[in-house]
């Protein structure tokens, strides 16, 4: 179909996608666009905390990173999110009308994925299986601003939130479409030229919908960098948002030059850009 491969909770920067594609017929689902795995920052974890258990027909495991004591808001958000996932899972697992079948399972891992001079980003990944054709993927992020100790959404970074999201939308769309089209042209398989064109057009419509500049579409993100000033953001699209369910999550690295001029004054020093490259890029666009 297309590339292989969110419902924000206020102030938590959380996105979770619970999907079931049992009836999907996805043409050419094996044509994938590979994305690099989300890296974990080296500045991170020692002796992670684990909450694990099992009951009659179900098991669960939740792994938390070791967070600095002063990151209270981040720690609270992570544990609150985990508690909600666990409560929902246990409720489904012990429901009197639960359907018979394979054991239910919940696997959820939180990891420090990025850390800059001003921000730390925690990524939550996992799945919850409570029957059906497959598990329901869980993808969420939490971004803490060291300067005020509060969690931030992407919209919080910009003077004009809509303008900021629009810039991110255009860049993500450009990269996703180009990534897929280039791969398809390199390896068209048995597809005719007309089939390629149709596939590309269908993919573009899917990407366009999934990258509409709305907060929910950009709820999962990481602020990129390693201990110094940030160099951009990585936007993570959960399964089925911009590509087929089988493709898994897609991620796009957006350099700071794309949105630097739209940042609030207090955040401009938190991001580093190559001024000359930004000017050249603006001229090309």
Q: Are strands 58-64 and 104-115 parallel, antiparallel or unpaired?
A: parallel
What is the domain range of residue 112?
49-154
- Cβ neighbors of 142 (< 8 A, separation 6 or more) are 12, 13, 14, 74, 77, 78, 81, 121, 122, 124, 151
How many domains, the chain?
2
**Residues 83 and 170 placed together within one structural domain of the fold:** no
**Residues 264 and 164 placed together within one structural domain of the fold:** yes
pLDDT digits (tens, 9 = 90+) for 228-242: 999 999 999 998 899
Query: Is it the case that residue 218 has pLDDT exceeding 60?
Result: yes
Which CATH number covers residue 150? 3.30.565.40
- Which H or E run contains 177? helix 161-186
Q: Where are the beta strands (DSSP E) in 100-178?
A: 104-115, 119-129, 136-145, 150-151
User: Does 108 fall in a domain?
Assistant: yes
**Residues 54 and 172 placed together within one structural domain of the fold:** no
Q: Are the CB atoms for 149 and 141 separated by under 8 Å?
A: no
**Residues 254 and 198 placed together within one structural domain of the fold:** yes
**Residues 143 and 173 placed together within one structural domain of the fold:** no
Which two structure tokens, joined as six digits, stand for 197? Answer: 């064109």
Query: Is it the case that residue 11 has pLDDT exceeding 80?
Result: no
User: Does 36 fall in a domain?
Assistant: no
**Residues 137 and 178 placed together within one structural domain of the fold:** no
pLDDT digits (tens, 9 = 90+) for 157-195: 999 999 999 999 999 999 999 988 887 777 767 777 788
User: Does 7 fall in a domain?
Assistant: no
SS3 assignment, position 214: coil
User: Does 92 fall in a domain?
Assistant: yes
User: Does 2 fall in a domain?
Assistant: no
- Categorize the per-residue pLDDT at 55 as very low, low, confident or very high, splitting at 50, 70 and 90: very high
Which of 154, 174, 191 represents a domain boundary (last residue)? 154
pLDDT digits (tens, 9 = 90+) for 21-49: 334 434 333 333 333 444 444 444 456 79
Query: Is it the case that residue 12 has pLDDT exceeding 80?
Result: no
**Residues 165 and 203 placed together within one structural domain of the fold:** yes
pLDDT of residue 46: 54
User: Does 95 fall in a domain?
Assistant: yes
Which of 106, 126, 154 represents a domain boundary (last residue)? 154
Mean pLDDT on 61-70: 96
Which of 108, 136, 154 represents a domain boundary (last residue)? 154
**Residues 188 and 263 placed together within one structural domain of the fold:** yes
**Residues 160 and 277 placed together within one structural domain of the fold:** yes
Lowest mean pLDDT segment, chosen from 59-63, 86-90, 124-128, 195-199: 195-199
pLDDT digits (tens, 9 = 90+) for 85-122: 999 999 999 999 998 889 999 999 999 999 999 999 99
User: Does 127 fall in a domain?
Assistant: yes
**Residues 172 and 261 placed together within one structural domain of the fold:** yes
pLDDT of residue 275: 55
Q: Which residues of 16-38 are buried (b: 16+ CB within 10 A; e: fewer)?
A: bbeeeeeeeeeeebebbbebeeb
**Residues 163 and 149 placed together within one structural domain of the fold:** no
**Residues 126 and 192 placed together within one structural domain of the fold:** no
User: Does 126 fall in a domain?
Assistant: yes
Could you give the strand order of the β-sheet that contains 232-237, starting from the edge strand earlier in sequence? 221-224, 232-237, 250-255
Lowest mean pLDDT segment, chosen from 123-132, 207-216, 237-246: 237-246
pTM: 0.78
Q: Are the CB atoms for 18 and 45 separated by under 8 Å?
A: no
């Amino acid at each position: 179909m297309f590339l292989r491969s969110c419902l924000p909770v206020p102030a938590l920067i959380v996105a979770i996608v619970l999907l079931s594609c049992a009836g999907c017929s996805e043409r050419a689902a094996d044509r994938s666009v590979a994305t690099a795995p989300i890296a974990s920052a080296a500045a991170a974890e020692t002796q992670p905390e684990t909450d694990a258990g099992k009951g009659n027909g179900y098991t669960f495991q939740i792994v938390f990173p070791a967070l600095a004591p002063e990151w209270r808001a981040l720690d609270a958000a992570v544990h609150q999110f985990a508690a909600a996932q666990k409560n929902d899972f246990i409720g489904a697992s012990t429901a009197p009308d639960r359907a018979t079948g394979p054991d239910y399972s919940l696997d959820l891992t939180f990891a420090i994925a990025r850390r800059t001079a001003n921000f730390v980003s925690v990524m939550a990944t996992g799945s919850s299986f409570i029957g059906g054709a497959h598990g329901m993927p869980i993808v969420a992020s939490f971004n803490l601003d060291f300067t005020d100790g509060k969690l931030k959404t992407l919209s919080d970074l910009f003077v004009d939130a809509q303008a900021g999201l629009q810039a991110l939308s255009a860049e993500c769309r450009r990269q996703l479409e180009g990534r897929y089209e280039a791969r398809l042209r390199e390896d068209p398989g048995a597809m005719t030229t007309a089939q390629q064109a149709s596939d590309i057009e269908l993919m573009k419509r899917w990407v366009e919908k999934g990258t509409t500049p709305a907060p929910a579409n950009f709820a999962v993100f990481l602020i990129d960098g390693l201990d110094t000033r940030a160099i951009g953001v990585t936007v993570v699209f959960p399964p089925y948002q911009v590509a087929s369910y089988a493709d898994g999550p897609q991620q796009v690295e957006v350099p700071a030059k794309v949105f630097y001029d739209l940042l609030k004054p207090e955040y401009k020093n938190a991001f580093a850009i190559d001024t000359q490259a930004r000017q050249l890029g603006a001229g090309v666009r």
